[in-house]
Structure 1
Amino acid sequence: MKVRLFFRNYALRIAAMLMLLGAASVIGFVFLGLGLPEANVAIVYLLAVLLSTLLIPRYLFGFITSVLSAFAFDFLFMKPHFSFTVSASSYIITFVIMVVTALITSTLVSHTKLSEQRAQESEAETKALHGLTKCLSDASNIHDIAGIAVSAISGITGSQAGCLCFDEKGTPEKTFVQQISSEKQIQRSLDDPGAFLRQLKQGNTAVYPGEEFYDWPICGRETTLGVIRLPKETAQFLNKSQERLLFSMIESIALAMDRFRSAQQRIKLREETEQERYRSNLLHSISHDLRTPLSGILGATEMLLSMTDEDDQRHPLIEGIGNDAGWLYSLVENILSLTRLQSGKLIVDKQIEAVEEVLAGALGQISRRYPQYDIAVCAPDEPIWVPMDVKLISQVLINLLDNAVKHTQPSGEISISVMEDKQENQAVFSVKDNGSGIKEADLPHIFQMFYTSMPPHSNARSGIGLGLSICDTIVKAHGGTITAKNCSPDSGAEFTFTLPLGGK
């Protein structure tokens, strides 16, 4: 069909050219009958060349018309007539001048016509892009942008264009919008979004031909935002001007979609920041208000325990109150640490400290809280001096020991050790238990915030998943590392963290 249309257009142009040359020849014979000189006939042929160039804005046709008009003038009006033989040298000069004049005239007219055509196309493109941009600025969501784009592209191509949007992850939606008339758009389903996406990823071209549509990707700064779909019968016959305008429109659509997505992300980020701030403020207020009365309760229970014999019926009740208050106090401390971490107020004040003293302080708190547990300690005879924030590292040790207690029966074994790794210039701390260990599915996630795993024994109390996350943050703030592993299947877990031995 395209080849047939091509030959039909060229046949019409050739016919028009021949008609103009024929008319010029008839007028030339009339001029000769009136006794006018051949120069007037030459001017008529020049007029035919000019009209041909104006009616057929192609440089090739102007050139052919110029040559044919010169030879027609020579054949019909130069002596001897009806022959290409020239009897006088003056006729040769006339012939050459006529050819040159016709060529120059046709070239100038063709260039002028082409410049005018390009100017009109450029003006039309500018108007179309301006109208599209103005409409896109009023769009309230990504699907409004798609609808506006479809309407504008359908108008400039005279087709039923469509637009398929992609979600934030770069996955095609299950439906796309298509213009079916000047006033109506419909939603059509996409047969296989996964296969469609694979086709786009496999190709690396500006347009993807399909059985029903040709698809032009709408590329954003980071991902594909969608595709513009043109019916196959329309896409195959787009001229260069329409293709150029289509690409310009797709760029404007991509900018609008990118701008909308960026605005959405900013709004979402702002909302999340506000929610996080409110949550942190609430946690900080609650934790701060709970810490003071809990400290009083712990102090009172310790005093009452010292005043009560172990065989007294009140002793286990007071001991239970103390254990629960200690658990709550530890939870409050973790929540306060969390709020400081999230607000950026955690300041690491490193001082050179003896590791043994830090271990003793942490063990003292755990022993008071869980007196039924025996914790083995392994430390070198020589003191290890490490730059650290004593309060923060103590919290790490307490959290790790508390975690070991939660996952170990009172009859089980818990040990804590520290050693100096001179080769790596670091102190290595290890907390080990012989509980049920860590599930393989939990190992990659145990240092994530709010991630918990239930201990197996019934008397254990589950936390809220902050202790290990806070340990991870504190150790990394000191320039160290922390890891977890199972000692062996069903025989406990080991947490290891390191601290550099260098200066502050």
Structure 2
Amino acid sequence: MLSIKSESSADRPKSPAQKLIKAAFTGAGPVNRRSLLVDFAIYNAVLAGCTLIGLLFRSLGFSDATIISVYILGVLVSAVLVTSYISNIIVSFEAMIVFNFFFTQPLFTLHAYDAEYPVTFVVMLIVSFISTTVAARLKAIAVQSDATYARTKLLFDTASRLHMLSDYHEILNTTGVQLAKLMNKPVCIYDMMKGPEQYLLFAPGESSARELPTDAKILGPVKWVCRFNEEAGSGTDRFPSSTMRFLPVSSNEHVYAVVGYDPESADDERPVADKPSQFDRGLIVSILGECSMALEMEKIRREKEEEVLRRKNEKLRADLLRAISHDLRTPLTSISGNASNLLTSGAEFDEEMRHRLYSDIYDDSVWLISLVENLLAVSRIEDGSLQLHTKLELVDDIIAEALLHIDRRSSEYTIINEPCEETLLVDVDGRLIVQVLINLINNAIRYTPPGTTIRISSTGMVDCAKITVSDDGPGIPDDEKEQVFAMFYSGSGKVTDSKRSLGLGLALCRSIVRAHGCEIMLDDNMPHGCIFSFTLPMKEVTLHD
């Protein structure tokens, strides 16, 4: 968790309200030439208005006490409008002098004949001084309340934003932007996942950060904070000579990042209430705590996703091994049995029997080759190593090539190729698309009875070509349509060659088609049967003379 160094009461920075209240009694305060000139114009305008009102009241016969109250009211108005306590003191004295000049005998002089006037002036000055002091204190409280509200709102806004984020880098970016807004100064964030050699610089008013190299002098404190999970830098016992202060963003002793800022870089000409205070330091710690919590939740979520993926991969591997061990046994047993019969008793068999045994061996070996090819293709897709080598291909050539490599039992089916009337050029990996078509056609042969009609057709669309493989077999039940493209799903349909499918063919088809940025669909063929269709990106060729 965040470690905050304790400070003595003498060294502890005062809040904005304490600074303004102290200024009300000691005369200290943020004063510069520009603010004094503005204050001078304000309180002189107020006193001019009070003088005009006083002259009006005297012409109407009002007493001096009423006119004095007008000036006291003007002093209160000035105390609210001006920014420095020095201006409040000046306006108190000036109000007394203006009243003496315009409203005491002799008029338009600074002399006073009545013995009561000196007492009146002193009382007026005291009342004006107390009024300005009270006004300054109320103003300080109001300013501090506004600052507290703004900073608290910033904290809640930051917390709500962080809780909605689930990306590690977005969490750090939001934290940096909010801290820069709170302190009104640049903030550096050193991402420990990337290493402290680079840092993100967030400037006030900017919604994004700049990535810059870390100075060699800064690396020491940053690495120390990351190692010991404690605050360091300016104002601490560790690296006190550094101009920056560094805070860890950590949870459960794990440091995700280090936040650095210059505690002395604030603009001294800003109002006191806008400068960093001890209250702001508490908000900084709170924001870093919210950031730590958000990063911890993101870490937990990422670990859960990785665990789910790991279990899914383990299940896929287990299913694959179980399916292979079961389904390879049948064709291998058939091959070894038929080969043994030919070796031991081949001379006793007639020509027809030997041909049938050779055909069975060939069919089983072709099935095994197809299985291995699908397994290799699936493994390349799963680990992301599948590379597409696309080039312009004729759709008719792809279909013709696929028909040359389909199951030998295709002679028992009516296979009709219906090419498109127009020439269709697609930008694809021809070898993989041929494999898609072979899998779809062999799938129709495997799950439909002999004599079934299988149609392969192609049509041109706006920006793609559509290839369709349909059959009039028994079809696929509605409750299985959502699963037919899943890995290792072989369905409940009866196969015609006694070989149980691994359920890789359609899953591989979908992966290959999606790798080309397209989609494969399954629909019903009325009155019965299936229609598998997929699209391919089409490309026009411009011929130049």
Same fold (TM over 0.5): no
TM-score with structure 2 length normalisation? 0.41
Higher-RCO chain (CA-CA 8 Å, sequence separation at least 6): 2
